[in-house]
Amino acid sequence: MKRTIPLLGALLLAGVTFTTSAHAAQKQSASGVPTVTMTITAVGKKGTPAPALKKDDVQLYKNKERLQVADLRRGEDLLLAVVIDDSLDSSIANQWSDLKAFFEAQPPTTAIGVFYSSNGAVRVAQDFTTDHALASKALRLPIGNRGAFSSPYLALQDMMKRWPSAGSRRSIILISSGIDYFRRGFGPKSPDLDATVERAQKQNINIWTVYAPDAGHFGAGYFRQFNAQSNLSELSEETGGETYFLGTSAPVTLKPYFDEIADHLNNQYLISFSAAGGGKKGKFERIRVGTEIPNLEFLTPTSTFVPPSQ
């Protein structure tokens, strides 16, 4: 059955449909140590398919300390937000057929929402829905120069604030130039990038970024574009996703990017482990995931949030 889930409804649904996962992410072990759950993506090297995994196939480390894996399960339900920067050149819409094909290829357990970012916030074009044809109908031309006060990083923070702090899988696909027009500093790094990464890590949200040029002449400089792409790369790498671009020009087709993202989303697992040492306020810890299976690696957040000790 295909469902449309209003954004507020998505929060309520996440609290109901994903109750088991949310509880698992917050429960304590018998010793009173919090249990943390994060999403990892299995990737086969050199184009080989990733095999199905069980708990014993995965090793987990905090620094040099090996952690015990409490649970490993394949991700099923997914909330997938597609956030399109409204400052993009309108020609990017010529690629929407590739995005529509990506929507249609997603399993019925994936609820897709379409959002446009401007003025440091997101606007809902289509609430989360399992009717993927309905999500496709929400795609439109970016408004171009009129959206030039956009900040993709503030927009993502606005998006993530509306989601629950725990639950099943959640991903964002951001289509943007990566240029922060809202701050207008145009330095090598957006002042809002680190805060965006930390919020995504804390809420276990993977962010996949697709670069596309914008319509503003301020974004035409090579170094500005290079810095913006570096920001997008860091955003994805730190949150367990990947970034996609080919130079600083518009891609000829987005299909290879969306095909790879689809493959990644189909090979995701939720891994749970006990994590001590969060202190009074909680803290971020660097966690590494490994395996002895040949030709297999993982996309993971560089850090995960350990909740406060109880």
Residue 200 lies in a domain: yes
Domain count, the chain: 1
Nearest to 298 by CA among 15, 59, 25, 22: 59
Residue 60 lies in a domain: no
pLDDT of residue 221: 62
Domain interval for residue 168? 78-265
The reply to whether 23 falls in a domain is no
Residue 277 is assigned to a structural domain of this protein? no
Pair 104, 263: CB distance under 8 Å? no
Whether residue 278 lies inside any domain: the answer is: no
CATH number for the domain spanning 200: value is 3.40.50.410
Per-residue confidence in pLDDT tens, the chain, 310 aa: 666 666 544 443 443 333 333 333 445 555 567 889 999 999 999 889 999 999 999 999 988 889 999 999 998 899 999 999 998 989 999 999 999 999 999 999 999 999 999 888 999 999 999 999 999 999 999 987 655 567 899 999 999 998 865 558 999 999 999 988 877 655 678 899 999 999 999 999 999 999 998 876 554 566 678 888 999 999 999 999 999 998 777 788 999 999 999 999 999 999 999 887 778 888 999 999 999 999 999 999 999 998 887 6
Please report the DSSP string for 57-115 in residue order.
G-EEEETTEEEPEEEEEE---EEEEEEEETTB-GGGGGGHHHHHHHHHHS-TTEEEEEE
- Residues comprising the chain, all counted: 310
Return the closest-CA partner of residue 20 out of 5, 37, 42, 7.
Answer: 37
User: Is residue 41 included in any domain, yes or no?
Assistant: no
Neighbours of 276 (CB within 10 A): 15
Q: What is the pLDDT of residue 184?
A: 64
Other beta carbons less than 10 A from residue 305's beta carbon? 20
Q: Report the alpha-carbon distance of residue 288 to residue 300 in Å, rounded.
A: 8
For residue 228, being part of any structural domain is answered with yes
The per-residue pLDDT for 5 is 61
What pLDDT, on the 0 to 100 scale, is given for residue 7? 56
Q: Is 274 among the domain residues?
A: no
* pLDDT for the residue numbered 172: 98
pLDDT at 24: 35
